Amino acid sequence: MRIGKNRRPIFIWSKESRWIVATEHGGRVWNYPVFAFDIDRDHNAILVRTEAAAVNTVCATASSLLEIGVRP
C-alpha cells in the first residue's frame, strides 16, 4: 500500500460503503491524518473528509468519521 512520502498506515476500518484510513505522517512535524472515503457503485473511492488527530485521539476520530453522512 502506497499512501505518500513519510506516511505509514496505522489501521484501516470499514462500515458499509465507508472506509477509514488512519495514518502517521512523519517529518519535521509529526501528525496523524485520518481519511474517510465512500465507495460508490462503480467501486470508485471518493474522499469525504480528512481530520487531523492527536496520537491519543486517532481511534475516536476514526470512529466519528465512520458515522458522518453514511449512506444507507
1 in a domain, yes or no?
no
**What's the number of domains the chain is made of?**
1
Q: Which domain holds residue 25?
A: 7-67
pLDDT digits (tens, 9 = 90+) for 5-58: 678 899 999 999 999 999 998 877 788 999 999 999 999 999 999 999 998 999
Q: Per the domain annotation, does 24 fall within a domain?
A: yes
Cell numbers linked to 52: 487531523
**CA geometry: angle 52, 58, 62, nearest 5 deg:** 85
pLDDT at 70: 56
Residue 53 domain-assigned?
yes
Cell triple for residue 12?
484501516
Asked, for residue 61, whether it belongs to a domain, the answer is: yes
We report the CATH number of the domain holding residue 11 as 3.10.450
Is residue 63 in a domain? yes
pLDDT tens per residue across span 1-15: 555 567 889 999 999
